[in-house]
Amino acid sequence: MSVQGGADLSTTNSGALAEFKVLDLSRVLAGPWCGQLLGDLGAEVVKIESITTGDDTRAWGPPFLAGESAYFLGCNRNKRGMAIDFSQTSGKELLAALIPKFDVLLDNFKLGTLEKWGFDNAWFEKNAPRVVRCSITGYGSDGPQADLPGYDFILQAESGLMSITGGTEGEPTKYGVAIVDLATGMMAANAIQAALLARYRTGLGQAVEVSLFDTAIALLANVGNSHLATGNESGRYGNGHPTIVPYTSYKCSDGMIALAVGNDSQFMKLAELLKHPEWAQDERFCTNAARVNHRAYVNELIAKAVIHFSSKNLIHLLRQNGIPVGQVNTVKQALEGEQTKSKKMVRTIKHSKIGEFQTLGIPLKMDATPSSIRRAPPLLGQHTVELLKEYLDLSNNAIQELKNKKVIV
């Protein structure tokens, strides 16, 4: 698969957040994903990493491209990079000088780390009152688990998400990507933008707290609310839906389809197209509630009918008649699909070490203030000198002294 026209890096920035500057101290996924989203929307994002290993995900592989992990490359574009040793006093002094130059401070340190370094509420009120400071933690600042670190897989387990994922007779199963981390990053980006809007009214920044735990509980959505309404425990339905039938995957003669029949009129049309109009008159199937109560039998009947169709022909037939259906694709098939190409959801980036590489595109399409990819993910400490001169006006001698002390790389 290739993208025509070479690298897709933009030389201009007219994004919605072009006036804002973000200091990103986060690592792994939730925080970096948030920073990348803000960068895609136009914000100037500066990522600061440890001088030794950098972001943990730099080592998460294979795969690697010229020694750079695909994982890191996937969540750190549109950022310039610094490397500072915060264990040294001089490193903390650099951070103290940098923070007031930014609109947003983003971190996912263990609870209390910034306060331990001296950056508590009083410090921000005195030195950086307009800065929006977003902390992403595992469990938030309250509750018996507040001091624990957060890991996506653990939160999927603890929140109940795993208990509702997987085959009906199988074991609880995690989602195929780190969905809690990703959703937490999105929540954080939303909260940060809301806080920036509020700053126009108040003139002040504020502390924003987003936790993996809260996000994971919120992701229970309709399943969680169904439990609250009834007190009943939720179960696993494989690819099925707890309150809609038929709404699952089926095998055709040459592959699998996903079928989502959302109302009774659609079911009536489906029955007709599958040459079983009598289904729509059967009291066990004529309403969605009845179909939910007879889930196994409905699925069995549909499975026996669709196995005689090719997936391409059945998808065409059902779509022509307004019934939601799609191919069950592999990742390769999805990324090579015509819709993916037309939406520019695979992009090519030029990197100083790798050359050109491909990455997922931007889902945020905006007309007047377009999102853009302007920078490749940084090498460790790639822009440290450049940024210290730009933001703090440090001299070459001062920078060299910091290098000699191993405060920066």
Could you give the residue numbers annotated as active site? 181
For CA atoms 14, 15, 19, 21, the dihedral sign is negative
DSSP label of 379: P
- Contacts of 357 by beta carbon, 8 Å cutoff, 6+ apart: 65, 73, 348, 349, 351
Give the type of residue at 41: L
In angstroms, the CA 81 to CA 47 distance is 5
SS3 state at 47: strand
In angstroms, the CA 59 to CA 52 distance is 12
SS3 state at 286: coil
SS3 state at 173: coil
Extended beta strands in 177-228, E state: 207-211
In angstroms, the CA 290 to CA 274 distance is 20
In angstroms, the CA 280 to CA 107 distance is 55
In angstroms, the CA 34 to CA 223 distance is 26
β partners of residue 207? 133
- Kindly calculate the radius of gyration of the chain based on its CA atoms and give it in whole angstroms: 25
β partners of residue 359? 347
For CA atoms 343, 336, 219, 261, the dihedral sign is positive
Degrees to nearest 5, angle at CA 76 with 42 and 102: 50
Structure tokens, 199? 């700053």
